[in-house]
Amino acid sequence: MTQLISDIRILDNLLALNLNVSLWSARRKMSQEDLGGAELPPEDLASLGSKRIADPENLKVFGTLKARAFNYLDRHGVRFMSGWAIPEEKAGEIVQELLNIRTEFQKEKDAFLACYDKNVQAWLEKHHQWGEIIRNSLVGPDYVRARMDFRWQLYKVAPLEQHTDNTAVLEAGLAEEVQGLGGTLFDEVAKSADDIWRRVYHGKTEVTHKALSPLRTLHAKLTGLSFVEPHVAPVADIVQAALLRMPKKGNITGTDLLLLQGLVCLLKDSVALVGHAQKVIEGYGPAFVLDALLAGPGVTHESDHPDGQMDGTVDGGMDDEPILPDISVVDSALPHPAIPSLGLW
């Protein structure tokens, strides 16, 4: 198995971004007084829950905006320390998108606070029988304003090279964080591919061109972070080569769909993916990997149906994931002795 170790010098091309989004939950801790002084178990045995003092529906938009920011950074960066590592060359466009989200966050915050007293009163009326326990914990709009925020810090990271105490240099910990960045990136690719498989490709015999969108997004992430580890750029090349093979018009079916399904399953398996990327590094090229995904027995390319539609069966059923090729074995019977046997399916 190829070991993924990122070089400390990649910090020259990276910026670290830490995102802080503070949300107000509208929850307050229940007290014994809220329950009319009822006898309760001791605190080391059980604790009371919480109560809502405002309608949570009015706060959903802030959670949505936070998720939007996190998803955007996940699409363009890789998790690093307490935030993300992003390509320095993309910092401008990434910050611009965060500015757009922050502007929307502030607009929604102002609108929420402008109607805060009215919304709290409506919440009290909705739960009038419990009005007293809500009133006991009400807070003013200024309290809420101080607890809702959207901000970030963008900074350059550099290793500690000199210090009066040599232990501080030796045990700084940054090298270990950087070395694992390639592995983190491949883990994120695998997680994204698993989501793409479930949402877009699983069990399908036909997809539209919209199915290519998440793969293009993944390709853009890999391209932007290609310097993180030597195997990243070859993976980006494999994805790009697959996208270029797709027809320009019409739905995607048959061998083209099988190729995409095989690609997504390959992206889900970080160990196999690195192995295929290594073959690209060794000179076989992305086309070699893509052909491998279609080269084995058990793949049905032709239809038995009278209407000519391909049934998309892979090894017994479309619900099964394609078995990834083993490209580590060399078959001397092949015309070119340097080309490995793929052992597909």
Per DSSP, the residues of 46-68 read ----EEESS-GGGGHHHHHHHHH
Q: Which two three-digit tokens encode residue 324? A: 């990834």
Query: Which H helix or E strand runs over 85?
Result: strand 83-87
- Region 22-39: mean pLDDT is 76
> In which band, very low, low, confident or very high, does the pLDDT at 332 lie, cut at 50, 70 and 90?
very low
Asked if residue 287 lies in contact with residue 241, where contact means CB atoms within 8 angstroms, the answer is: yes
265: left (phi over 0), alpha (psi -120 to 50) or beta: alpha
Span 195-240, pLDDT tens digits: 999 999 999 999 999 999 999 999 999 999 999 999 999 999 999 9
Asked if residue 34 lies in contact with residue 211, where contact means CB atoms within 8 angstroms, the answer is: no
Nearest to 269 by CA among 321, 331, 315, 307: 321
> In which band, very low, low, confident or very high, does the pLDDT at 47 lie, cut at 50, 70 and 90?
low
Q: What is the pLDDT of residue 298?
A: 40
Q: What is the pLDDT of residue 340?
A: 37
Nearest to 26 by CA among 5, 69, 57, 67: 57
Q: Return d(Cα 214, Cα 200) in angstroms, integer.
A: 9
- Number of Cβ within a 10 Å radius of residue 8: 13
Model-level pTM? Answer: 0.81
Asked if residue 126 lies in contact with residue 52, where contact means CB atoms within 8 angstroms, the answer is: no
Q: What is the pLDDT of residue 34?
A: 64
Who wins on pLDDT, 306 or 156? 156
- Region 76-94: mean pLDDT is 96
Asked if residue 311 lies in contact with residue 320, where contact means CB atoms within 8 angstroms, the answer is: no
Asked if residue 83 lies in contact with residue 157, where contact means CB atoms within 8 angstroms, the answer is: no
> In which band, very low, low, confident or very high, does the pLDDT at 344 lie, cut at 50, 70 and 90?
very low
Q: What is the pLDDT of residue 205?
A: 94
- Number of Cβ within a 10 Å radius of residue 218: 21
Nearest to 108 by CA among 218, 46, 21: 21
